[in-house]
Amino acid sequence: MLRLHSMAGHVLVGGTFDRLHRGHRLLLDAAAEAAAAQAEATTLVVGVTADKMLVQKAYAELIEPFDRRAGAVRAHLADALEAKGGAAAESIAVDLVPLDDPAGPAGSLAKIDVLVVSEEPGVLKNVAGIRELRATRGLDPNFDVVVVEMVDEDGRKVDEASKVSSSELRRREAEAVASGVENVGQ
């Protein structure tokens, strides 16, 4: 089905999505839910951080390549939208894009209805920056924000120090490799 992006609503979510874990799945599920709740045909724009933007991250050499991360996101969203079924799921187009700059499509799309973010302090700060950037570019800086709680590996709400994170999973992998252990449970 052909959809004109300028006429549809837009729900945006973005991230590195390395080692797609419970926190990522909750974020993507919240984005799918926000898209399904829109009154009009909606494009769910999912930004996956481009490899070139990740060189400064902890254990960057262990980050999965873009295609693998994007594939995991696409597969999860396909399952999540299929589970929704019905007209709501059919009215959602998924547009998976590489994030080449910190604002991504949020800094340039003519219309944003909802931005889905995690409650991490740095991420929440970025929302204000995106609003300012949109205003300086003559774009509407008003959009709803859905904030997804941080969780641990068991799905319990936690603070930033205890959250499940890809950086922690990479750290464990690096330590396992250094100590000669073949497989680290993820």
Q: Is residue 4 part of a domain?
A: no
What pLDDT shows up at residue 170?
Answer: 63
Q: What per-residue confidence (pLDDT) applies to 41?
A: 79
Task: For 110-162, list the strands marked E by DSSP.
Answer: 114-118, 144-148
pLDDT-derived band at 182 (thresholds 50, 70, 90) equals low
Helix (H, G, I), strand (E, B) or coil at 126: helix
Query: With pLDDT > 90 as the criterion, what percentage of the chain qualifies?
Result: 49
Measured CA to CA in angstroms, residue 144 lies from 13, 34, 141, 152 at distances of 12, 10, 10, 26
What's the confidence (pLDDT) of residue 155? 72
What is the pTM assigned to this prediction? 0.82
Q: What is the pLDDT of residue 5?
A: 38
Whether 3 is covered by a domain: the verdict is no
- pLDDT 10s digits, 51-106: 998 888 877 787 899 999 999 999 999 999 888 776 667 789 999 999 999 899 99
Count of the separate structural domains present in the chain: 1
Flag whether pLDDT at 146 surpasses 60.
Answer: yes
pLDDT of residue 122 exceeding 90, the answer is no
**Residue 60 belongs to domain spanning:** 9-179
Query: Does the residue 54 lie in any domain?
Result: yes
Tell me how far CA of residue 4 lies from CA of 15, 27, 111, in angstroms.
25, 25, 12
Domain contains 60: yes
1 is a domain residue: no
Q: Considering the domain boundaries, does residue 186 fall inside one?
A: no
- State mean pLDDT over 19-39: 90
- Tokens encoding 79: 């399952």
| pLDDT of 132 strictly over 80 | yes
Please compute the mean of the pLDDT values over residues 138-152 and round it to a whole number.
90
78: in domain: yes
Q: Is residue 110 over pLDDT 60?
A: yes
Does residue 184 fall inside a structural domain? Answer: no
CB–CB of 9/113 below 8 Å? yes
CATH number reported for the structural domain that contains residue 96 in this entry: 3.40.50.620
